Amino acid sequence: MPTSPAAGVTTEPSPDFWRDPATYDGTLQRDFIAPLEEAVQLLGRAPYSLQLALLQQLHWYFTVDLRERAPTVALTPAQAPAFHDRIRQIMRHIDAETLEALDPQQASPEVRHALLSYQDPVLHSSATLDAYDHDQGLVRLSYYVHGGPPAETFMIDEVAVAPAYAKYRACRYYHRMLLRQRIAWLPVASARTLKVLLDGALVPLAVGPQPFAVGSGREPMGLTADEPLPAARAAYPPGKGGRQALPRGWAGWKVRLLRGLARLPIVQRKFAKAWVFADRDEDADDNAEHLYRWVKKHHPEINAWFMLNRSSSDWNRLAAEGFRLVPPGLKRKLLILNCEHVISSHVDYEFGRLERAWYGDLMKWRFTFVPHGISKDDVSHWLGSRAFDLFVTTSPAEHESIVGNDTPYNYTEREARYLGLPRRDRLLELTAQTPISGVNVLLIMPTWRAGLVDDRAISGSVKDRMAAFASSDYAKHWRALLHNRDLRNLAQQNGMNLMFMAHPNVASYIEAFEPPAHVKILTKADTSFMPLLCRSVALITDYTSVAFEMAFLRRMVFYYQFDRKHFYGGDHNWRPGYFDYDRDGFGPIALDENELVGHIQSFFSNGIKPTREYLERMERAMPNRDPRACQRVFENIRAIRAPIPGRS
C-alpha cells in the first residue's frame, strides 16, 4: 500500500501485504487516517481528490476479502474490532458522492455498500431484477439493506403477492455482518406488471446488475420502472446467456462448426432429454456415479450418460458394468449442448466446461450440484453467485447455514434442498453387508493445507519439492504419528490394521512420511473408499468432512489439530462455518500426539463404542439414515422445471 495515497495509485497489494498484521491497524492509521485528519485540520474537510484516492486503495480490503481463499482471513477475530474501528475513522471523512464516483469495474456495489455501512446509515438501495426462470415463472429481486428490514409489499398485476422463496443474506467482512442483501423470488409467470413498495414508498426497479446510488432524489441508471417484467424476460432468455461475438479466425470457425453440429437432427435425437452425470474427470465413486446407477436401474427410460477420462482408474470398472461413458472430446460437447440436466459433485460443470460467451444461448440444461461432502466451513466465497438449479444439502444444520437468514450464501429454498447424498444409500448397503469381524481398520486420513509447498519448491526439482514438504509441520506431525509405538501396539493388541489414506495432493509426497511397515498406505487411485469406511472402527483426522461419513455410520472420530491456531488463521485460507469442533465434533480433539494416543487408548478400553455425548452429536448432525437419498434427489431434479404457483 503506498505511503502517499493521494498519488492515485490503484494497484492491488501483494498477498504478503495481507499477511502482515500491521495492514489492518498501523497501515490504516498511517496511510489513511493521518492524511485525512491533516486535511481536515488545514482545510476543514478532506478534499474530494484525497477522498477518491484513498477509496481507490481502501476498497481492496473488501474486494479481496470477497474472494475464495482470500489471504485476508489472516485477520483474527481478536484483531477484528480494532480493524473495524480504523475503517470507521476513515469513512467518517468520506462523502457519499465520492463512493458513487468509484469506478464500478474497480469496486462492486456491495463493496461500496460495505464501506458505506461504517457511516451507520438507515436505508435500503433500489431494487433490481437480476435473474429470471422461464420454466418456473419466477423473477429474482434483490436490494441491500442498512439497518432494520423495511416493510415489503410486492404487487403483481396490482395484487399483493408473497415471495415464493426469500431470505436476507449476511454481507460479512472480517468476522462481522456489515449489512444485508434481500433476495426474493417472485411468482410472476404471465404477469404484466410488478411494483415494489418498501416502507410504503414505490421503489424504482432496475434490470441487470445491482447499481449503486445513495442520497435523496437519486435513481440508479438502467431503470425500466414502466415495464420491468418484459425487460427482465428479454434480459434473461432461456439458457445461460446470449451468444456474444465469436472469435476471429480458426477459433471462430471451430465454434461455428460445433454449434452447427449440435443442431443436426441426428445429434439432437441421440442426446434428446439427456441427463449427464459427472464426478471428476479423473475419478468416479462419488455421488454422481451412485445416482447414475440408481437412475439406470429404476428409470431406464432416462437418456443417461456418464463423463469420465479414459485414463481414470475407474474407467474399466464402470465400462464393464455397462455405464455409457463419455470421455472429453467432440461427442461430450455435443452431448452437453443438447442435454436436459447436468448432475455433478463439482461446480466447474455448471457451464459444461464450455465458453459461456459463445454457447450461452444453447446452454438450456439445468445444473444440479451434489457436493463431494458436507459444507461445514463457510464456502460462500467459493460458491459465490453460481446459479445452481438444485443444491443438495446433507444435514439440518448445513441446510440452515445455507438457506437461513443472515447466512452468507445467496441460496434460498428454491435452490438448496435437504435431500442427503446419493452415495450414502450405497454406504448403508455396504455397512449391512460388512461383518463385525471385518470392522478392523483404524483409518488415518488428514486433509491438505494450502501453501504446504512454497513457490520456490514448486519451481524446483523433485528433490527440492520433497525436501520442502518433508520439513513442514504437517509432514513432521503426521510422520511422527505413523511411527508412534504406542499407537502401533494399541492397534496390534486390538486386532486393528493401521491404514493411512493420503489426500490426492499428498500422493506424490508419500515418501516424506517414511511410512513404517505396519502402516498400509492407500490412495484414491487404488482404493474403493466406501468399503474402506465400512471396515473402519474409527477415523483419525484433522479437519476433513469425511468425519461426517463416519458420523453417519455412528463411528468414532479423533481430531488431531496440532495446527488449529493457524489453520483458520490464514495458513489454509479457510473460513470457519457453523460447525464448531468443540461443540459439534464427533469425538475428542487433541492438540499433541500424546493426547491423541491417550484418547484412542480410552476408546479401546471402553469397548470401541462412541460415548453418549458423541453419539448424540452424530444423531443430531445426521438424523436421517434411510436408503432413499437417490430417490429424493431424482424426484427433485425431475421437478426443477415445474412452474411455481403464486402465493397470496
| pLDDT greater at residue 574 or residue 312 | 312
In a domain? residue 188: yes
| % pLDDT > 70, the chain | 93
Number of structural domains found in the chain: 4
Q: Are 561 and 581 in contact (CB under 8 A)?
A: yes
In a domain? residue 96: yes
What does the pLDDT read at residue 567?
Answer: 77
Average of pLDDT values for 439-456?
Answer: 80
Per-residue model confidence as pLDDT tens digits over 561-616: 998 877 776 555 578 899 999 999 999 999 999 999 999 999 999 999 999 999 99
Per-residue model confidence as pLDDT tens digits over 499-550: 999 888 888 899 999 999 999 999 887 888 899 999 999 999 999 999 999 9
Instruction: Please state the pTM of the whole predicted model.
Output: 0.91
Q: Smallest Cα–Cα separation from 124: which of 162, 158, 150, 160?
A: 150
Residues 111 and 170 in one domain: no
Cell numbers for 550: 463416519
How far is Cα 113 from Cα 98, in angstroms, rounded to an integer? 12
Residues 450 and 530 in one domain: yes
- Structure letter (DSSP) for residue 622: -
In a domain? residue 363: yes
- How are strands ordered across the β-sheet holding 325-326? 325-326, 303-307, 274-278, 341-344, 366-369, 390-393, 416-418
Residues 145 and 175 in one domain: yes
Average of pLDDT values for 375-397?
Answer: 92
In a domain? residue 411: no
Range of 8-12, 364-368, 462-466, 573-577 with top mean pLDDT: 364-368
Average of pLDDT values for 549-565?
Answer: 94
Residues 474 and 498 in one domain: yes
Phi, psi of 368, rounded to the nearest 5 degrees: -110, 125
Dump the DSSP string for 334-402. HHHHH-SEEEESSGGGTTTTS-HHHHGGG---EEEE--SS---S--HHHHTT---SEEEE-SHHHHHHH
Q: Where are the alpha helices (DSSP H) in 373-528?
A: 380-383, 396-403, 423-433, 455-459, 462-470, 473-482, 485-493
pLDDT band at 9 (very low <50, low <70, confident <90, very high): very low
What does the pLDDT read at residue 571?
Answer: 54
Per-residue model confidence as pLDDT tens digits over 105-155: 889 999 999 999 999 999 999 899 999 999 999 999 999 999 999 999 999
The residues, any chain, with a CB within 8 Å of residue 493's CB and separated by 6 or more, are 604
- How are strands ordered across the β-sheet holding 556-560? 519-522, 497-501, 441-444, 536-541, 556-560, 589-590
What does the pLDDT read at residue 647?
Answer: 52
pLDDT band at 303 (very low <50, low <70, confident <90, very high): very high
How far is Cα 425 from Cα 200, in angstroms, rounded to an integer? 51
Residues 290 and 187 in one domain: no
What pairing do the DSSP bridges indicate for beta strands 441-444 and 194-198?
A: unpaired
Task: List residues bridging with 146 in a β-sheet.
Answer: 123
| % pLDDT > 90, the chain | 74
- Whether residue 467 is predicted with pLDDT greater than 60 in this model: the reply is yes
Q: What are the CA-CA distances from residue 292 to residues 258, 352, 418, 430, 640 (Å)?
A: 27, 18, 19, 18, 18
Per-residue model confidence as pLDDT tens digits over 64-92: 999 888 889 889 999 999 999 999 999 99
- Whether residue 446 is predicted with pLDDT greater than 50 in this model: the reply is yes
Question: Looking at residue 280, which CATH number applies to its domain?
Answer: 3.40.50
| pLDDT greater at residue 242 or residue 237 | 237
Q: Are 340 and 273 in contact (CB under 8 A)?
A: yes
In a domain? residue 464: yes
Residues 321 and 350 in one domain: yes
The domain containing residue 536 runs over which residues?
430-623
Q: What is the CA radius of gyration of the chain?
A: 27
If one counts every other C-beta atom within 10 angstroms of the C-beta of residue 39, the result is 18
